[in-house]
């Protein structure tokens, strides 16, 4: 669906759970005859991010980072790179020297929001049999790391990238539209209807 089609579909879903014909569900007055198109448009990107963070990985199209950007840190055996600008979350990673994949749902992947310096990284231990990937706010740390990991075609870093809702698959767009409908209904203080819309949003992501 195009963005305009997503806006129209979201309005259809709002009326489905809270029939209004555009009269009683009103966000604010506009000079034109589309009282909440503007607000839905503003909410769509936020809702797309929420869906991409929640969706099962097998519903997503992975983006592959350039592993040549992984550089040796001052700590021997640790590699580091800046997160890609469009990074949302990890799907999986495997460097050439690693025996196993590290994925978001494994204990070997950690998000340490309090990580402030490389000393914190040295407290962690990773081996080729038990590798680790640590994420802080802006960087990714790879343990262990060998020099040829950055140049080997066998090194892979797959992640979920921030994507505009109009560029998502149709199934994910359904989830985005239900998310957006729920947000609009919450803003309009229709909590019961919003809860129904949230349930539909969750169901759209179920296998």
153-189 pLDDT per residue, tens: 889 999 999 999 999 999 999 999 999 999 999 988 8
Q: In this structure, what token pair is assigned to residue 40?
A: 């839905």
Who contacts 41 (Cβ-Cβ below 8 Å, separation ≥6)?
A: 3, 7
Same domain assignment for residues 50 and 96:
no
pLDDT in tens, 42-80: 999 999 999 999 999 889 999 999 999 999 987 778 899
Secondary structure letter of residue 147 according to DSSP: G
Same domain assignment for residues 70 and 95:
yes
Same domain assignment for residues 50 and 91:
no
Count of structural domains, the chain: 2
Percent of the chain whose pLDDT exceeds 90:
56
pLDDT at 113: 46
Same domain assignment for residues 86 and 36:
no
Same domain assignment for residues 114 and 156:
yes
Range of the domain at 49: 3-58+169-204
pLDDT at 188: 85
For the chain, state the CA radius of gyration. 21
Same domain assignment for residues 149 and 83:
yes
pLDDT at 180: 96
């Amino acid at each position: 669906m195009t963005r305009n089609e997503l806006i129209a579909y979201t309005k259809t879903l709002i009326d489905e759970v809270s029939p209004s014909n555009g009269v009683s569900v009103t966000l604010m007055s506009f000079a034109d005859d589309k009282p909440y198109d503007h607000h839905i448009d503003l909410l769509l990107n936020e809702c797309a991010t929420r869906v991409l963070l929640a969706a099962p990985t097998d519903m997503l199209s992975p983006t592959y980072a350039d592993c040549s950007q992984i550089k040796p840190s001052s700590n021997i055996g640790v590699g580091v790179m800046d997160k890609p600008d469009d990074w949302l979350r990890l799907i999986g990673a495997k460097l050439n020297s690693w025996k196993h994949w590290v994925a978001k749902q494994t204990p070997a992947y950690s998000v340490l929001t309090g990580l402030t310096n490389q000393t914190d990284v040295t407290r962690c231990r990773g081996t080729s049999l038990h590798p680790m990937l640590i994420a802080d706010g802006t960087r990714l740390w790879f343990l262990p790391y060998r020099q040829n990991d950055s140049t080997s075609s066998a090194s892979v870093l797959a992640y979920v990238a921030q994507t505009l809702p109009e560029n998502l698959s149709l199934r994910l767009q359904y989830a985005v539209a239900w998310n957006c409908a729920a947000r609009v209904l919450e803003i309009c203080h229709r909590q019961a209807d919003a809860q129904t819309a949230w349930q539909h949003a969750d169901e759209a992501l179920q296998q």
